[in-house]
Amino acid sequence: MRDMRDSFLKFNLDKSYASIEFEIDRDIDFISINWQNNKEFFSFYLYSPDNKLCAQIIGISEKGTRILSKESTKTSPCLLSLDKIKITKGVWRVDYSVITNTDACSTIIEIKEEKSSDIFYDDEYDLLENLYSDNLEDSKEYYTCDFHTHTIFSDGLMTREENNEVAEKQGLDFFVPTDHNIFHYTWPKNSHVKTYPGIEITSSLGHINLLFAEKTPFEEHHANEIEDEEALSQIITEASNYSLVSINHPFMEPWDFKIKDFPLNRVKFMEIINSPTLPSAKEAIEKALKAWNYLLNDGYKVVAIGGSDSHLKAGDKFYGSEYPCLLGDPKNFIYTRSNSAAYIKEAMIKADVSVTRRDELKLIYTGLERENDGFNGNIKLMAYIVQECFHGSKLSIHWVLDGEVKKVDQCKQSSFESYIDCNYHWIRVDVLDEDGHLYGHSNPIFFNRNKIKHNMIVWKDLLDKMK
């Protein structure tokens, strides 16, 4: 019986990116990954001899430990238990990248054998099983959610359990945790709110959410690839086969989307309202709304969603903000018959989604479809919002036709009539407060979209329009 805890690898993060190999010469039951850090932001991935991704760590704290065990209840979150790995004896690989500048020897990581662990994660469920479950629940008209949240496992301040608690207090039906560059396989059961797997690909070229993700791209790609425009574009394209891909806060500098050659026909989902209590958010949201109008006018069906991008403790505020940053602000309202991933994704692809800071906004288009090809004639639409005020500010309903506001009503219910000719058109509802902040929006209905040809082809074309 070996009394010593053998160190398999100890190294300094002295490069922006590196891939390191090391050997384990026997079968093992426990591995610990430990770091001492000068608060650099680093990502760490550990691959087994059979090339399975078995550990993902985002390091921003001064120190930390993660455990790999043959027992799933003793394996740390975002790590794969050793019983799911075919081979432990052989050559292992570490990939790491450093997001910020680091000095040589400033951050140290050690991988070593442990005897056991006294930390248990025994009250958790498998997120992938949750993703594939097709159990139908009692039908509701809609289900509310947040598509963008963070935990202490990247740079958030809330635990996973606290995410659950806030989501429940906010009245959400589900949410998607999207920690930076790491994927949650399991999640605590301390809530009735459903959780679906996701990941935020976080690069200097932009932030991209993979929602309802079946895996992480880092199972197949090196950490440094997301800093290359061509490689990241390919990763996003591949991810559309196993997730719904959303461009996050596309105009919020310095985290704006920068892949100039990215094809616009691959932009399927995009955040408009993101982190609305952040002081810089108003300008970023206005730019995103403007860009969305350009995309819609050019015939692209881009589904707009929202995300709180919650990083703070519940009740905490950003510096200079009057109101706290809360998970569930904004809310997405998904119009579907079941809170199962299959039905939610189907509704999202159809664009049966509205987004508000709090309560429901609904666009009613009885007798019409979301897509109306070969249409011309008179239309009458209705819209309503549940509340008239938000933070003491009166709300107004704005009818947007082809990117232009055609009617404004300061009331809870509004109607809109128009003649639609045989050309391409779209109609959406926006809701603004008295200070011009975007409170919410519907997604558009389209007329004769099959008749328009795109003038913009890549993201750079959109940026040129925005100038």
Tens-digit pLDDT profile for residues 185-244 = 999 998 899 999 999 999 999 999 999 999 999 999 999 999 999 999 999 999 999 999
Tell me if 400 is assigned to some domain: yes
pTM, two decimals, is 0.95
What are the helix (H) ranges across 250-324? 281-297
Cα–Cα distance for residue pair 268/239, rounded to 1 Å? 12
For residues 266 and 378, membership in a common domain is answered with yes
Closest CA to 240 of 345, 145, 339: 345
- Domain limit, last residue, from 67, 82, 113: 113
Contact present, 176 and 310 (Cβ < 8 Å): no
What pLDDT shows up at residue 465? 96
Tell me if 173 is assigned to some domain: yes
Domain count for the chain, please give it: 2
For residues 33 and 154, membership in a common domain is answered with no
Sorted by sequence, the CB contacts under 8 Å of residue 454 that are 6+ apart come out as: 264, 265, 298, 299, 300
Tell me if 119 is assigned to some domain: no
What pLDDT shows up at residue 102? 53
Tell me if 239 is assigned to some domain: yes
For residues 142 and 75, membership in a common domain is answered with no
For residues 206 and 305, membership in a common domain is answered with yes
Tell me if 262 is assigned to some domain: yes
Tell me if 26 is assigned to some domain: yes
Cα–Cα distance for residue pair 392/373, rounded to 1 Å? 42
For residues 170 and 300, membership in a common domain is answered with yes
Instruction: Calculate Rg over the CA atoms of the chain.
Output: 24
CATH code, 284: 3.20.20.140
CATH code, 91: 2.60.120.380
Q: What is the DSSP string of 336-387?
A: -S-SSHHHHHHHHHHT-EEEESSS-EEEE-TT--SEETT--EEEEEEEEES-
SS3 of residue 265 by DSSP: helix
For residues 193 and 283, membership in a common domain is answered with yes
Sorted by sequence, the CB contacts under 8 Å of residue 131 that are 6+ apart come out as: 196, 197, 212, 214, 341
Domain coverage including residue 108: 7-113
What pLDDT shows up at residue 5? 60
For residues 87 and 180, membership in a common domain is answered with no
What pLDDT shows up at residue 118? 76
What pLDDT shows up at residue 105? 54
For residues 44 and 131, membership in a common domain is answered with no
Cα–Cα distance for residue pair 22/309, rounded to 1 Å? 37
For residues 179 and 252, membership in a common domain is answered with yes
For residues 267 and 147, membership in a common domain is answered with yes
For residues 341 and 446, membership in a common domain is answered with yes
**Positions of the chain with pLDDT under 50:** 1-4
- Find the Cα–Cα–Cα–Cα dihedral 365, 368, 374, 375, rounded to 10°: -50
What pLDDT shows up at residue 37? 83
Q: What is the DSSP letter of 193?
A: S
For residues 211 and 183, membership in a common domain is answered with yes
Tell me if 121 is assigned to some domain: no
Q: What is the mean pLDDT of the chain?
A: 93
